[in-house]
């Protein structure tokens, strides 16, 4: 989704804004722009369709932009095609204010009609421009920018994170938020706003997160925040311990490849705070043993790959905890009038903690009394702040749109949580518990083993990169794993792929198999290996070209039957997807590479989806 940055300090804002925008590029976008203000030159704006590099090019062809306060934006088009005019910042007709916006103004047509009837002229097709025009309209009337801002916010329906620059007050930027992420960064003699912490960590690690209804006024050495009634608000600041280099490529061709290789370390860091002396401990959780014992059901809600983690979680939690577990797409769940109450535990999973569908679903269940435990990667993010309990994965900043290390860390976190609940409820045998703990301890090294030899995946990619459709099949955990493998492939290579429960093949899918169709058969789930083998034969009999994935000790049995084989080490069966996902990620990566795709920023996709 759109990225927002803002800076006010002692030096020229333009270079800092450009640098921060580049750090937001990973979110996915189609145009970029900045606005800077100073007393002599007033508002200066440059914006264009395309990447920040194109914006930089434009800036070299014009007089330097001077001014120590500015705002910047990367746009992911919703209203109006991606072009120069629809790019942000949007400037009001008399040039008094400039606006950057993330979110959707739902009543923009209504506001536009009102302003058109008052003689205001519009330049763009966007919903955002109405905010700039309405702000100037009120500002002309009251001549107090804060009064005008509050009058505008009163009339907006929808979601917004706004950065505002005003020609009359060149010493400040103003920010406002409702249902879209926005943070404040506190630097040495300077202040920032940003939609995401990666934009500012090169300058400051101290941030606070704006809440719905808040308005912030940032000047060089001071930040003031007010609530919706204009009362001052005391903000709590958070220290972000992410390393700046973690958000840089560090010699890898793509962030995605780097993040694939960071998985052993990310998983180790996620496990270690909770695993001591052979025991999983979640001492900080507010749920009591009585509550865990009285649990009626667990509902997992998430989107995208986080939902796929939930799919694996359903199998593993039911197996360990012995309570019914449902897993739902947050976008569906929020409108389903869910049957949850005080004895329901909601587990919300999100890398960013800013996915609007997940946040809305959580608000729905909280209003019905359910307890919400979130698994989140970004400290202090919106989802974390509205949850009863938060468990942070320690993946570090994930930049590639296609998630890899966040997925792996979410998986181990959910498994540890299941194991912890199971121990409290007495639903796991002590030797089984010990076996899983031992397997967890060994997992990072086993993941590294898979990553130590990537030549094989490059070779396989060279064999398959020109296919136009691919099917993944598997049963139980392999089915859930196939959903993620298939998503990785389609996201970054644009090959049409689907994942099917292998037992369902006969009920329709098998009619799609013809001579040479590529089927990726997942057979890592030991209890159903023989059935997986039968499914391989079934598709081969219809001409499929089968690439299989299995564990080292079953490789022999499969090799006789398939064209190509990928293997991973054996682990406890509930952790097997943590190893199985790596070959699927690497295969998708190298296939996309061979197809010449923009791997870190796939078309039309965004890293953090903050609109419905
Ligand atoms: C986007 C990303 C996916 C991610 C999904 C959910 O679609 O491209 O990689 O899985 O959002 O995001 P979340 O931050 O809630 O995990």
Which residue's alpha carbon is nearest to atom 2 within ligand 1? Answer: 607
pLDDT tens digit sequence for 87-96: 999 999 999 9
pLDDT tens digit sequence for 198-256: 899 899 999 999 999 999 999 998 999 999 999 999 999 988 887 766 667 777 899 99
Q: How far is the CA of 43 from the centre of ligand 1 (A)?
A: 36
Round to whole Å and give the CA distance between 107 and 357. Answer: 20
Closest ligand 1 atom to 358 CA: 15
* C-beta of residue 484 within 8 angstroms of C-beta of residue 315: no
- Give the binding-site residues of ligand 1, using a 6 Å CB cut-off: 303-306, 350-352, 355, 358, 401-403, 605, 607-609
* C-beta of residue 216 within 8 angstroms of C-beta of residue 6: no
Q: Which of 602, 606, 612, 492 is nearest to 2 (CA)?
A: 606
- Annotation says 2 is catalytic: yes
Which residue's alpha carbon is nearest to atom 15 within ligand 1? Answer: 350
- Residue-wise burial string across 336-359, b where 16 or more C-beta atoms lie within 10 A, e elsewhere: eebebeeebbbbbbbbbbbbbbbb
pLDDT tens digit sequence for 314-344: 999 999 999 999 999 999 988 888 788 788 9
Q: Among the options 49, 314, 490, 607, which is catalytic?
A: 607
Could you tell me the two tokens for 84? Answer: 């120069």
Q: How many CB atoms neighbour CB 502 within 10 A?
A: 29
Round to whole Å and give the CA distance between 432 and 359. Answer: 35
User: Full-prediction pTM beyond 0.85?
Assistant: no
Q: How many CB atoms neighbour CB 294 within 10 A?
A: 11
Q: What are the C-alpha distances in Å from 506 to residues 22, 500, 501, 544?
A: 49, 11, 10, 15
pLDDT tens digit sequence for 422-456: 999 999 999 999 999 999 999 999 999 999 989 99
Q: What does the CA dihedral 195, 201, 205, 209 come to, rounded to 10 degrees? A: 0
């Amino acid at each position: 989704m759109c990225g927002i940055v803002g800076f006010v300090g002692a030096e020229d804002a333009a270079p800092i804004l450009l640098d921060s925008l580049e750090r937001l590029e990973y979110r996915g976008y189609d145009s970029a722009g900045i606005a800077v203000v100073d007393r002599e030159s007033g508002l200066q704006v440059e914006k264009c369709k395309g990447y920040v590099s194109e914006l930089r090019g434009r800036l070299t062809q014009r007089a330097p932009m001077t001014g120590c306060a500015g705002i910047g934006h990367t746009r992911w088009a919703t209203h109006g095609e991606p072009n120069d005019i629809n790019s942000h910042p949007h400037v009001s007709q008399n040039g008094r204010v400039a606006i950057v916006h993330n979110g959707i103004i739902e009543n923009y047509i209504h506001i536009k009609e009102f302003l058109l009837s008052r003689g205001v002229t519009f330049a763009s097709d966007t919903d955002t421009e109405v905010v700039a025009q309405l702000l100037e309209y009120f500002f002309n009337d009251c001549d107090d920018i804060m009064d005008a801002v509050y009058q505008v916010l009163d009339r907006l329906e929808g979601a917004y994170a706004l950065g505002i620059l005003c020609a009359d007050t060149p010493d400040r930027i103003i920010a406002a938020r409702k249902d879209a992420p926005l943070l404040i960064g506190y630097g040495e003699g300077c202040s920032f706003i940003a939609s995401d912490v990666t934009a500012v960590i090169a300058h400051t690690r101290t941030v606070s997160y704006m809440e719905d209804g808040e308005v912030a006024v940032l000047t060089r050495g001071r930040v003031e925040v007010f609530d919706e009634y204009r009362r001052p608000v005391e903000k709590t600041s958070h220290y972000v311990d992410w390393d700046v280099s973690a958000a840089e490529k560090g010699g890898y061709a793509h962030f995605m490849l780097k993040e694939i290789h960071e998985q052993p370390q990310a998983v180790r860091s996620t496990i270690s705070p909770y695993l001591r002396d052979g025991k999983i401990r979640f001492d900080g959780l507010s749920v009591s043993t009585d509550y865990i014992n009285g649990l009626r059901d667990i509902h997992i809600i998430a989107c995208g790959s986080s939902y796929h983690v939930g799919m694996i979680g359903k199998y593993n939690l039911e197996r360990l905890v012995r309570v019914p577990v449902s897993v739902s797409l947050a976008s569906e769940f929020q409108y389903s009038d869910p049957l949850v109450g005080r004895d329901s535990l909601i587990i919300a999973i999100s890398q960013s903690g800013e996915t609007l569908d997940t946040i809305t679903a959580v608000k729905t269940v909280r209003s019905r009394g359910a307890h919400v435990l979130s698994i989140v990667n970004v400290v202090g993010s919106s989802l974390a702040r509205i949850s009863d309990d938060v468990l942070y994965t320690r993946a570090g900043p994930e930049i590639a749109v296609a998630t890899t290390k966040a997925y792996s860390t979410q998986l181990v976190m959910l498994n540890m949580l299941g194991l912890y609940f199971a121990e409290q409820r007495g639903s796991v045998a002590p030797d089984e518990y010990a076996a899983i703990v031992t397997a967890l301890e060994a997992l990072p090294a086993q993941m590294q083993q898979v990553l130590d030899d990537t030549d094989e995946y490059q070779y396989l990619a060279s064999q398959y990169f020109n296919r136009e459709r691919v099917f993944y099949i598997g049963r139980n955990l392999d089915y859930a794993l196939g959903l993620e493998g298939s998503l990785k492939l389609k996201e970054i290579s644009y090959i049409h792929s689907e994942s099917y429960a292998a037992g369902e093949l006969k009920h329709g899918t098998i009619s799609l198999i013809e001579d040479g169709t590529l089927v990726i058969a997942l057979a890592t789930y030991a209890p159903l290996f023989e059935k997986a083998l039968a499914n391989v034969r079934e598709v081969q009999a219809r001409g499929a070209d089968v690439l299989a994935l299995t564990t080292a000790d079953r490789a022999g049995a499969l090799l006789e039957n398939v064209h190509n084989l990928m293997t991973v080490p054996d682990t406890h069966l509930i952790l097997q997807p943590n190893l199985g996902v790596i070959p699927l990620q690497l295969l998708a990566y190298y296939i996309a590479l061979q197809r010449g795709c923009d791997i870190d920023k796939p078309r039309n996709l965004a890293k953090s989806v903050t609109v419905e």
